[in-house]
Amino acid sequence: MGTYLAIIKRDLVISYKDGDHIAMGFGFFLVIISLLPIGIGSDIDILPKVGPVLLWIAFLLTTLFTISRLFKDDHVDGTMDFMIMDSAIFEIIIICKVFAYWISITLPLIIVIPIMSILLNISMDLILPITFIIFISSPAFVFIAAVGSALTLGMERSGILITILILPLYIPLIIVGISATNINVIGINSYSVSVMLISGFSMLSIALAPFLISLILRTNSY
């Protein structure tokens, strides 16, 4: 247990000491969100309709662009090989690393989503549901993106390749997530059903992704 806590603590310390990475993810998120209102211009009626979709897309792209660093440093300096050989269970080490990433990069985004929703003129009674549904889908987002990060480990231009590889796998999540707060989208038009489905996706990816990632990383290190 101590080993795993130490890994979470180590990753958090590293990411906060090197604060640029967090700031970059955060800035990327804000810039993407502020692009659309500029494009739409003065037509104020469209913004609340497309706002939730925009929040999803910005969230997703930020996750995909920042995740490529998740295993990179450990892979380059050889720490990864020690983690694989260590007596601690490698799958749980992966969960710890992804959890530390989630705290340092994803959680700030989720906290700022209500504020961005107000900027996007999303109606007040939708803000909490949207934030909550992005919050419960974030484990699925992060764990699936971590698979992509492992797949492209050691490659140049891995950020763009991750996007091509992983976006198709997000489709069920996005369809269910967006249809939860938008009755005009195809899919299941009930909030509670969407919440249950998305919780299921998240649980499934927390359970499956560490095994896939460990398989990929072990293949990579031999």
Partner 1 sequence: MISLINPTNFNKLSEKIIQFIGLFSLALFIVGIYWGLVIAPIDYQQGEMVKIMYIHVPSAWMALLIYSFITLMSIITIIFRNPITVIAAKSAAPIGLIFTLSVLLTGAIWGRPMWGVWWVWDARLTSVMFLFFIYIGYILLLRSQNTSMKSEKIAAIYAIIGFINIPIIKFSVDWWNTLHQPASILKIDGPSIHSSMLYPLIIMFFAFSILFLYLLLLSMRIELIKNKIRAINQRRINDINN
164 binds partner 1, rule: CB under 8 A: yes
Annotate each residue in 165-204 with x if it binds partner 1 (CB under 8 A) or - if it does not, as one string.
x-xxx-xx-------------xx-----------------
* Residues whose CB is less than 8 angstroms from the CB of residue 96 and which lie 6 or more positions away in sequence, other chains included: 4, 5, 7, 8, 11
Least distance to partner 1 from the beta carbon of 32, Å? 21
Sole window of 57-65, 92-100, 125-133, 144-152 interacting with partner 1 (rule: CB under 8 A): 144-152
Beta carbons of 126 and 47 less than 8 angstroms apart:
no
Q: Of the two residues 109 and 217, which places its CB atom closer to partner 1 in the complex? A: 217
- DSSP annotation of 156 reads T
Beta carbons of 216 and 150 less than 8 angstroms apart:
yes
142 binds partner 1, rule: CB under 8 A: no
- DSSP annotation of 67 reads G
Least distance to partner 1 from the beta carbon of 165, Å? 4
User: Two tokens at 122?
Assistant: 């999303």
What is the distance between the alpha carbons of residues 152 and 136, in angstroms, rounded to a whole number? 26
What is the distance between the alpha carbons of residues 35 and 40, in angstroms, rounded to a whole number? 9
Least distance to partner 1 from the beta carbon of 219, Å? 5
Burial of 136 (0-12, 13-18, 19+ CB in 10 A): middle
Total binding residues for partner 1 by CB under 8 A?
21
∠190-62-201 over CA atoms, to 5°? 35
Q: Phi then psi for 188, rounded to 5 degrees? A: -95, 120
Q: Which of 25, 37, 212, 214 binds partner 1 (CB under 8 A)?
A: 212
Q: Which of 104, 138, 152, 194 binds partner 1 (CB under 8 A)?
A: 152
Least distance to partner 1 from the beta carbon of 45, Å? 22
155 binds partner 1, rule: CB under 8 A: yes
Sole window of 4-12, 26-34, 92-100, 149-157 interacting with partner 1 (rule: CB under 8 A): 149-157
Cα 134 to the center of its chain, rounded Å: 10
Binding interface with partner 1 (CB under 8 A): 147, 151-152, 154-155, 161, 164-165, 167-169, 171-172, 186-187, 212, 215-216, 219-220, 222
